[in-house]
Chains A and B, each alone.
Chain A
Amino acid sequence: MGSAEMCRDLAPEVEKLLLQPSPYVRKKAVLTAVHMIRKVPELSDIFLPPCAQLLHERHHGILLGTVTLITELCERSPAALQHFRKVVPQLVHTLRTLVMTGCSAEHSVSGVSDPFLQVQILRLLRILGRNHEESSETMNDLLAQVATNTDTSRNAGNAVLFETVLTIMDIRSAAGLRVLAVNILGRFLLNSDRNIRYVALTSLLKLVQSDHSAVQRHRPTVVECLWEPDASLSRRALELSLALVNSSNVRAMTQELQGFLESCPPDLRADCASGILLAAERFAPTKRWHIDTILRVLTTAGTYVRDDAVANLIQLIGGAQELHAYSVHRLYSALAEDISQQPLVQVAAWCIGEYGDLLLEGTCEETEPLQVEKEEVLALLERVLQSQMSLPATRGYALTALMKLSTRLHGDNNRICQVMSIYGSCQNVELQQRAVEYNALFRKYDHLRAAVLEKMPLVERGGPQVDEEAKESKEVAQLSEAAPLPTETQASKLLDLLDLLDGPSENAQHPPPLDPTPGDTLIHLLDLPCAPRPPAPIPNLKVFEREGLELNLSFVRPPGTPTLLLITVTATNTSGGDVTHFICQAAVPKSFQLQLQAPSGDTVPAQGGPPMTQLLRILNPNKAPLRLKLRLTYDHFGQSVQEIFEVNNLPVETWQ
């Protein structure tokens, strides 16, 4: 109650009331002050002076209020903190009197004198002593005294003790004192009262960062607390146990934690599983142990692990060369027993796919060799595919694994082919796509199958596994898109030459529209020029002239394809005699690709008759300067003429 404005207005009033003779009023005034400060921190200056005086009160109620007030002040402003460091001795004295002198009847709670006040003072001392050497030193004795003298048989005493421990942990206390604190907590842990054990576990959790070794001593007790029926207690114990795992006790601890995992309530399972996996990652003594541990976690609590656990495990197995056979055997047996745990199934499917050949060899030094038949393996993977419990992702894994097995295992692949064709019409789009791609691999690209499906290289951490699989599929997809264009770049390279061709016209009859660069497939498919495009404004070039026979080149750069250049060679004959058996051949530098199309005819009639044209297609992927060499052979005036020349002065636009 009381808004900020009200507080500001009433602040002076309250200050006056603080000095009133009646303790009742003062008590109330102090707490009003606390509230005001919470609302309007600027008022804290007004309340600083009276505090020191109020501390001398004997009235516990006022003391309690004052201590709270000072606590608030100190929490809000470091300046106040400095100011109040002076009162530490006073506080110490008060507390000491409380502890030492017998209890006054009115304040004692079950044998401990005013535990509430003690707790408050301790808390204030904690705030004052934090990071401050001097105050901490003054407090040291007192804290030790409180710790030893307080009666712990009753809860009140325990409350005080707990606060003491918290204070010891926070201030710069002597090492001996810290050890004392940890021991007190250890004692708490053994106490039968659950509440006390709970607070002990909580504070040990805070301590474990700074005093790791001291807490380690209590490890067995902590592990026992794991088995508590109480949920909050077991959760705390779990967190603490996970924090206590280090390289020396990792095997024992994981053993315990795995036992716990099997029987713990579902809400803790996720935390436990991820905790175990994390600990295993940090402290695994051997790779084999690591793989074993993860395997065990996956079998017991597979559904609760985090998503990247699968990827991590795959990466781990991939990295451990020597353990491939071992892992695949173990995973196979685990899978054969139970196909419901999805992460396990995924990892197992991947492994079987990659290392199926090792599985069938049947020899493995580290575990009992299984005699596994090829049919069994396939049957298992098919079961996974068909099972209701499998997620689509799992099915994807199984499908890919089946495919990989087609290269790893010897013998015919009918069964696998069948599966692929069935899944070609699957409802799930992802699966269907994969199946279709794999089908294509079987039918048209059988020669590529082995290369595409060979063992995967080790992936770096951070790159998700899915990418690798996706990349594989993408490459296959591109190949299948290029199916109507079976010839690859190999064919076109034949046309590249600096030397001359023999009879390019045969090739030119059926020019396969090429596309070596993936991704541009579709564009080029659409781009089959049958008729000359609208001419780009590149000037024609006259390249040859002899006895009335003229050769002109006209250039077209189709706008959609920057690397393509179309040249039309026009031969005109203004002489009196026909030119017969006219053959024009062209050559370009190696980086270009050239296609010659069929000429309109091989006779250029005389006297300005219809010219002969021939189309050249030049692809210039590297945008290199174009060089063109032409060779002409024809008969003119009864003579065979052969001309070879390079075209000079090619306009820049032809190749830029």
Chain B
Amino acid sequence: MIKFFLMVNKQGQTRLSKYYEHVEINKRTLLETEVIKSCLSRSNEQCSFIEYKDFKLIYRQYAALFIVVGVNDTENEMAIYEFIHNFVEVLDDYFSRVIMFNLDKVHIILDEMVLNGCIVETNRARILAPLLILDKMSDS
């Protein structure tokens, strides 16, 4: 089960965070700082899976952006690793421009893909379908 999903830039600022298990607000910042610290300090040579307290962290770097997913013990790390890549591809598909201007849409996409900690949809077309409908409605 996915516990949380973070998008962090290289300076360590959280761009997007989604928690699938309730964590208090003040604890969230603490958690994020620690997680980010451990991910940013790793070089390219090192493995993408880190153990942190009772989670496993799987991270992947794309240019200036780090995507970090925290899962519990039962998940297959490599599958999550693939999932991150899938997610980024979907985003690529949809956004021709820079993501940061449309964070709400990113949230919608993420919600389509992951529900309550489980991966539900990985088909690009189907994920983007509702968004496209929404766009069409707002245009007309």
Contact = CB atoms under 8 A, between A and B. Distances in A.
B122 to A, nearest CB: 5
Nearest to A230: B46
B47 A233 contact: yes
Contact of A106 (B79, B86, B115, B125): B125
Given A106-B125, A198-B47, A230-B45, A159 B82 contact: yes
A266 to B, nearest CB: 16
Contacts of A31: 115-116, 118, 120
A115 B119 CA distance: 12
A199 B122 contact: no
A156 B82 contact: yes
B104 interface: no
A98 interface: no
A397 B50 CA distance: 43
Contact of B126 (A61, A158, A231, A233): A61
B137 to A, nearest CB: 16
A107 interface: yes
Given A162-B78, A163-B79, A64 B119 contact: yes
A599 interface: no
Interface residues of A, number: 39
B122 A198 contact: no
A68 B117 CA distance: 11
B116 A159 contact: no
B32 interface: no
Contacts of B125: 106
Given A28-B115, A31-B120, A116 B83 contact: yes
Interface string B115-135: 110111111111000100000
Given A31-B118, A35-B116, A199 B46 contact: no
B81 to A, nearest CB: 6
Interface in B82-140: 82-83, 85-86, 115-116, 118-126, 130
Contacts, number: 98
Contact of B49 (A61, A166, A198): A198
B47 A194 contact: yes
B82 A155 contact: yes
A65 interface: yes
B121 A199 contact: no
B48 interface: yes
Contacts of A162: 76, 78-79
Contacts of A163: 76, 79
A340 to B, nearest CB: 31
Contacts of B46: 194, 229-233
B86 A109 contact: yes
A119 interface: yes
Contacts of B122: 60, 64, 107, 109, 114, 116
Contacts of B130: 24
Q: Is the interface of B mostly helix, strand, loop or mixed?
A: mixed
Contact of B79 (A34, A116, A232): A116
A359 B47 CA distance: 52
B34 interface: no
A64 B47 CA distance: 29
A195 interface: yes
A403 interface: no
B119 A116 contact: yes
A159 B79 contact: yes
A60 B119 CA distance: 12
A27 interface: yes
Contact size range, B: 20 to 34
Contacts of A8: none
A129 to B, nearest CB: 16
A11 interface: no
Contacts of A198: 47, 49, 77
B47 A197 contact: yes
A156 B121 CA distance: 16
B81 A155 contact: yes
Nearest to B83: A116
A27 B49 contact: no
Contacts of B121: 27, 61, 64
Nearest to A31: B115
Given A123-B76, A159-B76, A27 B50 contact: no
A185 interface: no
A195 B130 CA distance: 34
Question: Which has the most chain B C-beta neighbours within 10 Å: A27, A106, A159?
Answer: A159
A556 interface: no
Given A31-B115, A116-B83, A162-B76, A106 B123 contact: yes
A461 B115 CA distance: 56
A241 B46 CA distance: 20
Contact of B82 (A115, A120, A231): A115
B116 A155 contact: no
Nearest to B126: A61
A232 B81 contact: no
Interface in A1-60: 24, 27-28, 31, 34-35, 38, 60
B50 A232 contact: yes
Contacts of B126: 61, 106
Interface string B12-26: 000000000000000
B124 to A, nearest CB: 7
Contact of A195 (B78, B85, B118): B78
Question: Which has the most chain A C-beta neighbours within 10 Å: B83, B118, B130?
Answer: B118
Contacts of A199: 49, 77-78
Contacts of A107: 122-123
A195 B82 contact: no
Given A159-B79, A163-B79, A195 B116 contact: no
Contacts of B78: 155, 158-159, 162, 195-196, 199
A232 B39 CA distance: 12
A65 B120 contact: yes
A109 B80 CA distance: 13
B47 A232 contact: yes
Contacts of B50: 232
Interface string B30-54: 0000000000000001111111000
A34 B121 CA distance: 15
Nearest to B45: A229
In the A-B complex, the 10 residue pairs with the smallest Cβ-Cβ separation, listed nearest first, are: A159-B78, A194-B47, A230-B46, A31-B115, A198-B47, A159-B79, A61-B121, A119-B79, A35-B116, A116-B122
18 contacts: A31-B118, A31-B120, A35-B116, A60-B122, A64-B120, A65-B118, A65-B120, A68-B118, A109-B122, A155-B81, A159-B78, A162-B79, A163-B76, A195-B47, A199-B77, A229-B46, A232-B47, A233-B46
Given A61-B126, A163-B79, 8 more contacts: A27-B121, A28-B115, A106-B123, A116-B83, A155-B81, A155-B85, A194-B48, A195-B78
